[in-house]
Structure 1
Amino acid sequence: MIELIETIELPVLAAIFAGLLMFGLIFYFWQSRAQARARAEVRKRLDISSRKDRGAGSGAPSAKRAAGAFATRIANRTDKYYSVNDPGQQRKMQMRLIRAGYPQKGALGYFLAARLCLGIALLLAAAGFVFTFLPEKEMTHKALIIMLGAAGGYFFPNFYINKRIKEREAENRRGFPDVMDLMVVSSEAGLTIEASIERIAQEISRTYPILSEQLQVAAIEVRAGKSLDEALRAFGERVGLEEVQGFATMIQQSKELGTSVSDALRVYSDEMRHRRMMAAEEKAYALPAKLSVPVTAFILPIVIGVAVIPTIVRLTTQ
């Protein structure tokens, strides 16, 4: 790592540092202008009055309360920035957080604030490490290590969110065929799709808690007045599986064409079980190819040594 850092020339490092500095300045002034344009006079008065009431009713805030208020302000500012300047990107990031298991209202703001604060914290930690333990290095190499630490802290929350999304999607993909089987049983028993969703959400609460939670949300949306097609489509977006979106499309087409929902569910359930079996067979067939690497790296040299070393010993002792 140190040799790679030492090979980087000074002009390249200066260009990288100048680019990051320019990006930070542009981001700061752009955010300030967007907030000044989006904030209305009524909201200002409301914020001022609420602050006065809190100041009059409470004494000196504790350190924990002050830290929570500071984090909330950062989260609100970052959330307002994306809602004003890039609502499409805000919607995508909110959906990613929902799929990762953070459906709270202020989850996006806290995620952006955590990304910013963690980047600054690791920047300071890298700076302290460099100036404490590597004082003999050149300034360009120190600046590069500091920037690598800041970049690692900035992108670590994204890595964590992506990891959680993959884990939850894998669990949902394992449990959705069982949900379809229960849906077929409920439909043949005479229950409607809405009642089946509520019943299945209760039955799978222990085995597949993520799917159970999302099914309960879909049932609540249907009770609140949303149509079944929209609730199932939103359920597919929250879960992030193509199979669930296909299930919502299948239910909609069955209602529009007047076909039997039970037959459609049975066919779709068989397809889901077939897909799960194919995925298991694919993993089984890929196992020999994966085992070839450790066999070649660890077992083959030992076998060759056992076969060749006695011959070498005999030739050298004669």
Structure 2
Amino acid sequence: MYMMTIILLIGGFVLYRREMSQKVSSRKSYVYGFEGTAAVDVAEEEEDKRSLFQRLIQPKLKVFKRQFRRNIPSEKQEKLELKLLRAGNPMGLSPFEYRLVQLILYVSFPLLFSILAIIGNASFGRVLFMILLGLGLAAYLPVVYLRMKTATRYTEAVKELPDFIDLLAVSMEAGLGFDSALSKVVSKQEGVLSNEFRRCLEELKLGKTRKEALSGIRERLEVDDIKLLIGSIIQAEQLGVGMVQTLRVQSEEIRERRKQRAEEQAMKAPIKMLFPLVLFIFPCIFIVLLGPAIIQIVEMFANQ
């Protein structure tokens, strides 16, 4: 019965749409004549070829996007865009799309968790707890995801930095200018640094100064080694110091700092291993060594 009702409603809606479209096309043909009718038919054919998402959902998203830009201050939008850029712009999300994902999670997670609790015949307090848990996860997961992507990206950039500087210095020693050498290295190498310096070159073509473009890299990659490198390049350009020599010095210093960080981590390793040893390994050793003796002592007292 319900299926028949739904089928009849859908069929009636389709017939109504077809009748209305025919009326509209006939009115437009009456107003514009034959040429207008042909243009209307072409437009209707193009509209029919579009998917349901393009015809119904996409216009609504555009309206929401305009409202988002109108209601959210530009400073907050810029901060959110900077966070996405630091994370590598995951899945190509814009600030509006990221907020939309957060909104979907805020609605879907509590709803899903509450449905699971109701199916499990949970009490009202348990259902309320599951709703709050869903809200907490919806608020926490996107932030943690961005932080993890940002940390991974920073780690990759630090690993790539010495080799990238060496290639840039070799290209400049071969007679290329800084921009040409940078373009050459970026075209031959892939990675986080290549993507950032490629963006820097594009900003230079759009009219930004070299200092502004390089400062953008420093904002998107908040790593001490990269900040020092960008600062040295800007200072060398302003003071007229040899760029190749500056790059060589920076490469050696970065490798030395990497070596010092590795030694520091190696010295911290015994302290970090102390707690797992005390909590997990030592109890097992005590059980293996003292277990048989304890069993014998218990049996001896039991026989007495």
TM-score range for the pair, normalised by the shorter chain length: 0.7 to 0.9
- 8 A contact 2:183–2:201 mirrored in 1: yes
The residue aligned with 1:202 is: 187
Q: Does 1:239 align with 2:221?
A: yes
- 8 A contact 1:75–1:108 mirrored in 2: no
Relative distance call for 1:301 and 1:187 in structure 2 (3 A) is same
Deviations along 1:118-139, one digit per CA (max 9) or x if unpaired, are: 111112212322333234x23x
Give the number of the structure with larger relative contact order, counting CA–CA contacts within 8 Å between residues 6 or more apart.
Answer: 1
Q: Does 1:165 align with 2:154?
A: no
The residue aligned with 1:33 is: none
Which whole-Å CA distance do the structure 1 matches of 2:235 and 2:186 have between them? 24
- 8 A contact 1:214–1:235 mirrored in 2: yes
Task: Return the letter of the residue paired with 2:241.
Answer: T
Deviation at 1:175, TM superposition (A): 1.0
The residue aligned with 1:297 is: 279
The residue aligned with 1:262 is: 244
* Structure 1 unaligned residues grouped into runs of 5+: 1-52
Which whole-Å CA distance do the structure 1 matches of 2:172 and 2:217 have between them? 19
Q: Does 1:117 align with 2:107?
A: no
The residue aligned with 1:48 is: none
Which whole-Å CA distance do the structure 2 matches of 1:241 and 1:55 have between them? 54
The residue aligned with 2:266 is: 284
Partner residue of 2:64 out of 64, 74, 90: 74
Task: Return the letter of the residue paired with 1:187.
Answer: M
Task: Return the letter of the residue paired with 1:74.
Answer: F
The residue aligned with 2:48 is: 59
Which whole-Å CA distance do the structure 1 matches of 2:89 and 2:57 have between them? 21
Root-mean-square deviation (CA), in Å?
A: 2.8
Task: Give SS of 1:142's match.
Answer: helix
Task: Give SS of 1:248's match.
Answer: helix
Deviation at 1:277, TM superposition (A): 1.3
What is the correspondence of 1:36-55 to structure 2 with a 5 Å cutoff? none
Relative distance call for 1:172 and 1:268 in structure 2 (3 A) is same
Deviations along 1:138-172, one digit per CA (max 9) or x if unpaired, are: 3x553343133123223322221121111111111
**Count of residue correspondences:** 258
The residue aligned with 1:134 is: 121
Task: Return the letter of the residue paired with 1:204.
Answer: Q
Q: Which has the larger radius of gyration?
A: 2
Relative distance call for 1:286 and 1:95 in structure 2 (3 A) is same
Partner residue of 1:273 out of 255, 260, 271: 255
Which whole-Å CA distance do the structure 1 matches of 2:43 and 2:96 have between them? 23
Partner residue of 1:99 out of 69, 73, 86: 86
Which whole-Å CA distance do the structure 2 matches of 1:228 and 1:277 have between them? 31
- 8 A contact 2:162–2:255 mirrored in 1: yes
TM-score normalized with structure 1 length: 0.71
Percentage of pairs with the same residue: 24
Deviation at 1:110, TM superposition (A): 0.2
Deviation at 1:112, TM superposition (A): 0.4
Which whole-Å CA distance do the structure 1 matches of 2:110 and 2:60 have between them? 20
Deviation at 1:108, TM superposition (A): 0.5
- 8 A contact 2:117–2:126 mirrored in 1: no
The residue aligned with 1:253 is: 235
Which whole-Å CA distance do the structure 2 matches of 1:171 and 1:211 have between them? 9
Deviation at 1:212, TM superposition (A): 1.4
Which whole-Å CA distance do the structure 2 matches of 1:62 and 1:257 have between them? 58
Which whole-Å CA distance do the structure 1 matches of 2:186 and 2:49 have between them? 47
Which whole-Å CA distance do the structure 1 matches of 2:91 and 2:116 have between them? 36
Task: Give SS of 2:48's match.
Answer: coil
Deviation at 1:285, TM superposition (A): 1.9
Deviations along 1:62-118, one digit per CA (max 9) or x if unpaired, are: 444334444454344324322xxx222211110111121228986100000110111
Which whole-Å CA distance do the structure 2 matches of 1:99 and 1:273 have between them? 24
